[in-house]
């Protein structure tokens, strides 16, 4: 049991064995913060605290799993520790309290949000400023919730005062969004934390003696409120010089005021860097010293010096820069997966990837389209989600939008009607509709809230009489929607037949097979294959069509194989929703934004486009942390390198026809650059 502690250096050991209370560990890049956290948990277990009394909060589930796995090699009971992201921990806890909640991804929630937004006719509201789009307003709402600001009006006054004229409309959209979520037992990542905080404030049983928080510098106000309400004793590990998520709501003041907010708190500093050669650390220390020093610290060299200072490589234009980057990597003796190319934002990535692939160099981009993001997999999962939870409005909308003539608005109307007809269950609305209920009634109007009267004259069901529908389906009032086309009605009928067949099935594999062999699924996959097989003239290449259709079938079959590992649909779906795409697939050179590189290390690192307006990019950082945040980004980029580091910049971008000056960070690092 002593082993995790016995490997720590003096600084790490002092932190890991601190008395219970409020402890903060400032862990600079490469100083062994994971070893310190693992050592701390070992110390707690050794001193009588039970595994189920320990809560470990991380910013990726992968980090949590790795720490628990590392610890359980020495202490098997460590697997009983509650560990994961703020959202994963909250979800598991809430599920124990209410099994009926359904977690949806941000992409799914955005579909629901857009359907609510689309009911407002902003064209008929005469505002001086253009209102935010649905997508932008959705992101703004998330920032508002995570800011912990008390009112939307005060939030807009700080962030977007020119949008205050729409505050009542925005509030009505947010309120309806929350009402729909509550009605259908849906939770998203933001509402998970809010619900959990409310439960804690209402005095639910809290078993945790100590809460450990990794990457503490990246916490936002809502996460901090969760910590405040769940903690008895606190052990936080972070580095204010690596706080780079201000754009996402992270508040550096949370870590910087720790010793002021908690009386008798203790602050420990880890300074010994085990990752990088001395020349690399010298640059990191020199540049970051231009930012305010919140707690005194400086990285100390343990690996010694390589004898080679990081090189600055200057090119006439970005094309030449990326070409030479590919040539250098081609001739490098460093294993490809130990090489990283870091950029401030993704605009550089496409050309770099093309240059590398041109030379036959394998590479992977973190954040690329994953298996689960492909449309055929997403729609398959949507059908399974809906079967599992007939109140799932987003999945229903995603499915029926594949029918010709059914868009977001009509799909939402149909869902609401089926909910009424099925007494709160859409599947019942299809199979056992209550014909006495009225549907498609006029909605409320309000000029002030952007809601206008769109009177519907109900359509006649007789227009679908000769389509071969079962009499029972022909009675269904959803067919009275005035904008429902023949193709739309046929799609709904095939969906009805699928639901009828699976209604008697329990086995998840049988349900899956019924889905993929249904007419509804055939219609959807055929549409996807057609989209992917059109030539330049818009005509369908039939040979390509058959190829694409087979490719879709193969991909969906992979999902079926994954399902074999689960005894129920619910367990399978929960695993997928909480499963993260934290690591990229594939192999080869790593192409990463600086944000995506956080927490990683590589033998050979190239930081590209080190020019003013590119890195630092004041335009991107101004709404968040400004030049200090950009400098922290540079610090994070530099400290990813273990052995070799190259700085690359170009004098101009020939495509955009822009001239560039060298990045101020290179000047701050001590390089004498004549542009």
Q: Which residues are known binding-site members for ATP?
A: 27-34
Residue 478: CB atoms within 10 Å? 23
- CA 461/CA 422 separation, integer angstroms: 19
CA neighbours within 13 Å on the CB side: how many for 525?
Answer: 22
Q: Residue 628: name the closest of 217, 306, 180 by CA.
A: 217
Closest CA to 398 of 382, 421, 381: 382
* Chain Cα centroid distance, residue 196: 19
Q: How distant, in Å, are the alpha carbons of 17, 59, 113, 392 from that of 47? A: 10, 27, 49, 47
Q: How many CB atoms lie within 10 A of CB 674?
A: 5
Torsions phi, psi of 656, nearest 5? -85, -10
Long-range CB contact pairs, 568-577, < 8 A, 24+: 568/508, 569/384, 569/387, 569/388, 569/508, 569/511, 570/388, 572/384, 572/508, 573/381, 573/384, 573/385, 573/388, 574/103, 576/372, 576/381, 577/103, 577/104, 577/105
List residues forming the annotated binding site. 27-34
In angstroms, the first-to-last Cα distance of the chain is 58
**Residue 646 contacts residue 605 (beta carbons within 8 Å):** yes
Sole residue written with tokens 């010298």? 282
CA distance 288 to 240: 11
Task: Match 């509650």 to its residue by tokens.
Answer: 82
Dist CA 17 CA 9 (whole Å): 12
CA 497 to chain centroid, in Å, comes to 36
């Amino acid at each position: 049991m002593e082993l995790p502690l016995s490997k720590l250096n003096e600084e790490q050991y002092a932190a890991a064995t601190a008395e219970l209370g409020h402890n903060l560990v400032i862990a600079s890049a490469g100083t062994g913060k994971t070893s310190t956290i693992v050592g701390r948990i070992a110390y707690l277990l050794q001193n009588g605290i039970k595994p189920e009394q320990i809560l470990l909060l991380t910013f990726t589930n992968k980090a949590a799993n790795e720490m628990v796995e590392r610890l359980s090699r020495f202490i098997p009971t460590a697997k009983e520790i509650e560990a994961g992201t703020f959202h994963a921990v909250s979800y598991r806890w809430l599920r124990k309290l209410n099994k009926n909640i359904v977690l949806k991804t941000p992409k799914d929630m955005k579909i629901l949000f857009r359907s609510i937004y689309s009911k407002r006719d902003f064209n008929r509201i005469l505002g001086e400023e253009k209102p935010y789009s649905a997508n932008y307003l959705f992101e703004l709402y998330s920032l508002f919730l995570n800011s912990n600001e008390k009112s939307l009006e005060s939030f807009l006054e700080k962030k977007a005062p020119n949008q205050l004229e729409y505050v009542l409309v925005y509030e009505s959209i947010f309120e309806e969004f929350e009402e729909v979520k509550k009605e259908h037992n849906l939770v998203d990542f933001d509402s998970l934390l809010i619900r959990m905080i409310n439960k804690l404030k209402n005095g639910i049983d809290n078993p945790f003696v100590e809460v450990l928080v990794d990457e503490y510098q990246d916490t936002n106000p809502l996460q901090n409120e969760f910590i405040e309400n769940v903690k008895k004793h606190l052990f936080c590990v972070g580095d204010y010089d690596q706080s780079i998520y201000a754009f996402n709501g992270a508040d550096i003041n949370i870590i910087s005021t720790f010793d002021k907010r908690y009386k008798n708190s203790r602050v420990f500093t880890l300074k010994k860097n085990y990752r990088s050669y001395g020349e690399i650390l010298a640059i990191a220390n020199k540049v970051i010293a231009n930012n305010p020093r919140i707690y005194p610290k400086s990285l100390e060299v343990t690996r010694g010096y390589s004898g080679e200072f990081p090189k600055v490589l200057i090119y006439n234009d970005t094309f030449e820069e990326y070409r030479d980057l590919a040539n250098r990597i081609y001739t490098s003796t460093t294993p490809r997966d130990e090489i990283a190319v870091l950029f401030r934002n993704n605009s550089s990535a496409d050309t770099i990837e093309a240059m590398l692939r041109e030379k036959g160099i394998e590479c992977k981009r973190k954040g690329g389209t994953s298996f689960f993001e492909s449309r055929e997999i997403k729609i398959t999962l949507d059908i399974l989600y809906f079967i599992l939870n007939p109140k799932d409005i987003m999945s229903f909308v995603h499915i029926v939008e594949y029918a010709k003539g059914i868009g977001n608005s009509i799909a939402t109307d149909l869902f609401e009607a089926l909910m009424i007809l099925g007494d709160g269950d859409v599947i019942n609305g299809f199979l056992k509709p209550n014909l006495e209920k009225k549907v498609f009634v006029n909605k409320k109007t309000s000029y002030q809230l952007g809601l206008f009267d769109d009177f519907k004259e109900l359509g006649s069901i007789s227009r679908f009489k000769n389509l071969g529908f079962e009499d029972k389906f022909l009675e269904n009032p959803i067919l009275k929607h005035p904008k429902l086309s023949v193709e739309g009605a046929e799609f709904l009928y095939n969906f009805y037949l699928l639901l009828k067949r699976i209604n008697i099935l329990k086995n998840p594999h049988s349900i899956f097979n019924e889905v993929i062999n249904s007419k509804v699924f055939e219609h959807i996959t055929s549409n996807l294959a057609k989209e992917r097989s059109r030539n330049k003239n818009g005509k369908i290449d039939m040979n390509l069509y058959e190829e694409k259709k087979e490719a879709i079938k193969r991909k969906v079959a992979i999902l079926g194989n994954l399902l074999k590992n689960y005894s129920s649909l619910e367990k399978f779906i929960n695993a997928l929703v909480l499963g993260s795409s934290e690591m990229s697939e594939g192999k080869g050179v790593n192409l990463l934004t600086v944000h995506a590189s956080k927490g990683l290390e590589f033998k050979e690192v190239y930081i590209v486009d080190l020019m003013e307006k590119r890195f630092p990019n004041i335009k991107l950082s101004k709404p968040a942390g400004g030049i200090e945040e950009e400098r922290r980004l540079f610090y994070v980029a530099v400290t990813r390198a273990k052995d070799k580091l190259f700085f690359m910049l170009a004098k101009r971008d020939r495509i955009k026809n822009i001239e560039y000056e060298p990045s101020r960070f290179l000047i701050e690092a001590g390089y004498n650059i004549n542009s």
